[in-house]
Structure 1
Amino acid sequence: MAHSRKLFRIALTILIILCTMIPYSNLRIGGTTHSGMAFANPSPPVPFLGDYAGELREPRPRKDGVRHVDTPRLIQKLKELGVTQYFYLIWHAPTDWDDLRREFLPAARRSGIDVWVYLVPPSESRRIQPEPYGTDYVAWFRAIGNLSRNYENLKGIVMDDFNHNLSFFTPKYVSRMKQAGRKINPDLLFYPQIYYTAIDSHLLKKYRSLFDGVVMTFRDGKYRNTQRTRDMEDQITKISRLLNREGLPLILMVHASKLSATPANPSAHYVNQSLRTGLRQLRQGNIQGLVTYVLHKEWFPERRDRTAYSGYGYGSLFIPPGHPPGPGGKGEIRQKIHPEASEKYGLGFHHMSVYPRNLRKGDYVKQILVGDRVVWEEDVRAGQVEEWKSKTLNLTPYLREKKETVLALRLVRKQGRSPTWLYIGYDRLKPQGFQLANADFEEPSGWSYRSNYPAVIGETLIYDPRRRLRVYLITMMMYHTFHLYHQMASSGPPPLHRMADSMLQSVLEGRTQNTCRELDQLKKALERDHTLSSPQREAWIHQINKLNRILTINP
């Protein structure tokens, strides 16, 4: 209840801020000019700051029994966030196409939001097919082309998981798709969604004439996770150079919600780091757009992520699907310990495993080690999935007369090479005869994580009941900051341009105090400036005030 009350107070504060956020209705979006406040100079093109899916549904079904897309609320959230491009997914309900045609597109046009129809491929259509055309993508392109003639803010089509469906999407068939749409609207664009590992010169040689750009969803390359971002810039740089040689724009999509076959939703810290990297690359021109993947627009605790045995956190070791380690591959959670003078030493702990049905017994084991000695071992498949089990070990033979050693909680591949994913957890350790820091994994400190293979990912996973709200605020702050920077850099005098550039750099480096200080300096400079029109100056000051208030919220 205490968390719910605090969440409500935070949400109320945010709503007050959001109600007064400046919409970007004065800007040029995808060639469409919208009237609004006057600027001294022509309005600069709006940055491609987008969102995919995460649509809001009406609270109750209509007469047809379907909960339709709640267009007014969805548009309101997109404007609050600073979204200029929306990837509209047609898949979740049989009425999605009609909701797009009759309600969402007209409302998006009035709000200055460009729309891309996001289609699912055959690999995602086995259980649910998008209606009304299913996997007849020639028909989809024809229908979308017809619709785009009436709505200039309907820019194009994005195809999900394109590289997983190349046997279906042959160059010949993709050519038929494009011709069906382009015959009606020559400006209709096609962007396949492709993962990093599949974007290469061979693919581009076959499809270059059929692509108008590429959407790359970041998930750490072949190691497929939403926990690490360390290789993000390198991967973007490599793909950007490759696409730039072909004259193709690159749109980066970053996960704001759960990737399948992973232990949990991406943390707010992960989303923060991803968006910072994305905006840095957008500023440098290495990408031409940034899109969030399923940014939730309703804020409530994601209780399915609360999987610790007790409290909120546990130590996790994760093997992503696709490129697992061979025999001998391992990861471990370690801590140096100093046994006390005692007659008896022991360790109580809880452990669990999560794995798919096709994981074979004997492939992976969990282990506890003292120094280099294995003192306990159990097959990962022993017991039920997600079942926490308790175990108590007698460590007296291993710790007697020891002054210092290492306790390690390990996951090891014993045999096999199947690409199956899995993860294990350790929680609520109870040492006897020695001390452990953060024995309940309620803080990120105390333990170190090691592995001998990149696909073994260790982390203290701490459930965050306010994750959705944090991610929403982070995205809103990042998008609106970039809009302010972009406007000042495009149409402000050089001194303001330099100050806005410094302010953005502080945001990208996570220096919140510097950001607030530089926003105040920008505001004072604007108040002294006599070269700008009064509406432009007042609009930027208003925007700075709102950004300052967002930065002071710490949910």
Structure 2
Amino acid sequence: MITCIKRQLLNNFLRQINAGRTALFLCGLLLALVTTLSVVGAETATVPQPLPAFTGPHLADYDSEPRRSDGRVDIDALLTRLKELRVTTYYWLVWHASTDWDDLKLFLPKAREAGISVWVYLVPPSESPPNFGRWYSEPFRLDYPRWAEEIAKLSTEHPNLTAWVIDDFGANRRFFTPDYVRQMQQRAKQVNPQLAFLPLLYSDDLQGTLVSDYHEVVDGAVVAYLLDREEIDWAWAVLNDATVAVPGELSYPWGTPSKAGEYVAAAQAAKVLPADKCLIRFRERDDFTADTAGYHFKQLLIDDEVVWEQDVAGGTPKWQPIEVDVSQQVRGKRSVRVGFRLIDKRGVSNFGVRWRVSELETEGLQLGAGLDEAGTWQVTRQGAFETGFAADPKAGQRRFHLPFISMTAGTLSDYRKRHGEPATPQAVADLLRVSLQAWRDGKCDGVVTYCLDKRPGSDVFEAAKEAFHEFR
């Protein structure tokens, strides 16, 4: 009996121990689960959420506002045209009249009723007296920290005001230093942390250090007049710190003086084959369409002899096929050096250009490698010229993501200036579709038309409207 009682007591004791172990195990499991959820929650909390400016579709129009006879903005007429386009955002330029800031305050509530967000757009010092014209962005003129604060205050009253932009930012970098922009942002974010600031950039602004210098103090970028889908994808890569490769490019930066005779060249050896003819074919384009001639020249060289040459002035930024007969230059030789050169015959003070070469083919010559194979082209240069030849792709580290909006020409004159002929309503709409498709594919965060002609009966407006409707 005593033995049975002892055994029973022992069993009860063991059951209590096991129960305690189970309880301890369950407590430990619960603690681990809570800790895991806390860590996951903490990690989730550190992931930056997109600002309101970048949530939802961003299909936008800029400027070219209809005005009444007294010079004030015709708000109702403007909203009617924006609703016809089915855009989600309008960029309000404060520049054409001293009353634009006051009219913005009248426009904002009506735009909100129409489901339209608003971005305020300011001009920089280079577009203000005494540097240019007679008009400032009024009333705060060149006091951009004050602008930042006042726009932020207005955005707290009107939540559809989600961002602001400064035009031609790259050309005004000496004024808008990173520290100055940081001060602007601090003034704005103290009032409304959700208000976004974006500089207006051009493709050449993306080539240097601007993005790496400013990515911590801006919330995104509006990039104007990208030539095609290839350039949009390239801009996306730069602004997302992704791998960037620009093979076959020779360029000169804006805002940088040069001297006559300075150049950049890329060349490689080619074997001369038995043939009746020796031909070199390639496609080329440059991004300068104005008529300033006699400065930058594009050249094809055989053993340092110029066999093809063209001034960058005029023309179109579209790809052009080139065929050059070099039979005479290679006759009697076993090998030659084939090279591309961008050279200044006269010095420049502020004249940038990008020249691209692609689809290089030869007859009667055997090249060592194509344009996109690093290490095969020998580069020589004098001055500030740059090149993508002989360079490995710039490996991106994905340290940052800057949302970017693609701005496209919205008038025939602007299309002609940026893209050459033919400048037609259909051409404007087709280029708009390129950006819209890139937006749909996730290669830009929105699209805005520059100064779309909103006058009644505008063929350009109707063509752009059709394009917008296809993507809404």
The counterpart of 2:122, out of the listed 105, 119, 129, is 119
What is the aligned partner in structure 2 of residue 50 from structure 1? 60
Q: 2:395 aligned with 1:247, yes or no?
A: no
Map 1:383-394; keep pairs closer than 5 Å.
Answer: none
Q: 1:419-450: per-residue Cα shift (whole Å, max 9, x none)?
A: xxxxxxxxxxxxxxxxxxxxxxxxxxxxxxxx
> Which one of the candidate residues 143, 146, 159 is aligned to 1:139?
146
Query: In the alignment, is the contact (CA less than 8 A) between 1:68 and 1:99 conserved in 2?
Result: yes
> In terms of mean alpha carbon deviation, does 261-270 or 136-145 score higher?
261-270
* CA pair 279-111 structure 1, distance change in 2 beyond 3 A: same
Q: Kindly state the Cα deviation for residue 289 of structure 1 after the two structures are TM-superposed.
A: 0.2
The CA deviation at 1:270 is: 2.0
Name the structure 2 match of 1:477.
466
Name the SS of the counterpart of 1:276 in structure 2.
helix
Q: Residues 194 and 265 (structure 1 numbering): CA distance in 2 closer, same or farther, change over 3 Å?
A: farther
1:234 aligns with 2:238: no
Q: Equivalences for 1:515-530 in 2 at 5 Å?
A: none
| 8 Å Cα contact 1:214/1:250 also seen in 2 | yes
Q: How many angstroms does 1:237 deviate by?
A: 0.8
2:79: which partner in 1? 75
Alpha-carbon distance in structure 2 between the residues aligned to 1:219 and 1:264 = 16
Return 162-171 or 271-280, whichever deviates more. Answer: 271-280
Question: Are 1:287 and 2:291 counterparts?
Answer: no
Return the TM-score normalized by structure 2: 0.52
Shift of 1:260: 9.8
Q: Separation in 1 of the partners of 2:431 and 2:220?
A: 21
Matches within 5 A, 1:52-451: 52-58=62-68, 60-61=69-70, 67-101=71-105, 103-126=106-129, 127=133, 128-200=135-207, 202-218=209-225, 220=227, 232-245=228-241, 246-257=400-411, 258-259=413-414, 262=417, 266-299=423-456
1:298 match: secondary structure: coil
Cα displacement (A) at 1:156: 0.9
TM-score (norm 1): 0.44
Q: Which has the larger radius of gyration?
A: 2
- Secondary structure of the 2:91 match is strand
CA contact (8 A) 1:255 1:266 kept: no
- For 1:287 and 1:237, the matched residues in 2 are separated by 8
- Cα displacement string for residues 172-193 of structure 1 (whole angstroms, at most 9, x for unaligned residues): 1111111111110001101111
CA distance, structure 2, for counterparts of residue 144 and residue 169 of structure 1? 18
How far is 1:219 from its partner? Answer: 5.5
* In structure 2, distance between residues paired with 1:93 and 1:171: 30
Shift in CA distance, 74/216, structure 1 to aligned 2, threshold 3 Å: same
Distance, in Å, in 1 between the alignment partners of 2:238 and 2:449 is 23
The aligned amino acid for 1:47 is P
Q: Tell me: CA distance 1:111–1:166, structure 2 relative to 1, closer, same or farther (3 Å).
A: same
Asked whether the equivalents of residues 123 and 165 of structure 1 are also in contact (C-alpha less than 8 Å), the reply is yes
Identity across aligned pairs (percent)?
39
Structure 1 position 269, deviation (Å): 2.6
* CA 1:135–1:266: 2 relative to 1, 3 Å: farther
- 1:80 aligned counterpart, secondary structure: helix
- Aligned equivalents of 1:179 and 1:78: distance in 2? 32
- In 2, the alpha carbon distance for the partners of 1:197 and 1:31 equals 28
SS in 2 for 1:47: coil
Q: Within 1, Cα distance between the matches of 2:422 and 2:123?
A: 22
Offset, 1:259? 3.1
Going from structure 1 to structure 2, the CA distance change for 1:265 and 1:167 (only over 3 Å counts) comes to farther
Distance (whole Å) between structure 2 residues aligned to residue 109 and residue 265 of structure 1: 38
Q: Distance in 2 between matches of 1:261 and 1:201?
A: 27
Residues 201 and 242 in structure 1, CA contact (< 8 A), matched pair in contact too: no
After superposition, the C-alpha distances for 1:341-390 in whole angstroms (9 at most, x for unaligned) are xxxxxxxxxxxxxxxxxxxxxxxxxxxxxxxxxxxxxxxxxxxxxxxxxx
One-letter code of the match for 1:292? Answer: T
Partner SS for 2:216: helix
Contact 1:259 1:265 in 2 (8 A): no
CA offset digits 1:448-485 (Å, max 9, x no partner): xxxxxxxxxxxxxxxxxxxx32x2112211212211xx
In structure 2, what is the Cα distance between the partners aligned to 1:146 and 1:472? 34
User: SS state of the match for residue 157, structure 2?
Assistant: coil
1:87 is displaced (CA, Å) by 0.5
Distance 1:31 1:134, change over 3 A: closer
Task: Give the Cα–Cα distance (whole angstroms) in 2 for the partners of residues 248 and 261 of structure 1.
Answer: 29
- Distance change (3 Å), C-alpha of 1:185 and 1:198: same
> Counterparts of 1:265 and 1:152 in 2: how far apart (Å)?
41
Distance across 2 between alignment mates of 1:248 and 1:46: 16
1:477 counterpart SS class: helix
Q: What is the aligned partner in structure 2 of residue 363 from structure 1?
A: none
Q: Which amino acid aligns with 1:112?
A: G
Residue type at the aligned position of 1:55:
E
Distance of aligned partners of 1:92 and 1:265 in 2 relative to their CA distance in 1, 3 Å threshold:
farther
> SS at the partner of 2:453?
coil
**Aligned-partner Cα distance in 2 for 1:138–1:31:** 21
Matched AA of 1:106: P
Match of 2:120, SS state, is strand
AA aligned opposite 2:80: Q
Aligned-residue offset at 1:147: 0.4
In structure 2, give the amino acid aligned to 1:68: R
Q: Structure 1: where are the runs of 5+ without partners?
A: 1-29, 33-44, 62-66, 221-231, 301-467, 484-555
Shift of 1:266: 3.9
- Counterpart residue identity of residue 479, structure 1: F
**Gap change, CA 1:140 and 1:274, over 3 Å in 2:** same
Q: Tell me how far apart the structure 2 counterparts of residues 191 and 80 of structure 1 sit (CA, whole Å).
A: 27
The AA in structure 1 aligned to 2:67 is: R
Partners of 1:217 and 1:187 lie apart in 2 by 24
How far apart, in 1, do the equivalents of 2:143 and 2:152 lie?
Answer: 14
Cα shift readout 1:114-143 (whole Å, capped 9, x = no counterpart) = 000000000001221111011110111111
Q: Is the 8 A contact 2:415 2:428 kept in 1?
A: no
In structure 2, C-alpha distance between the alignment counterparts of 1:293 and 1:261, rounded to whole Å:
13
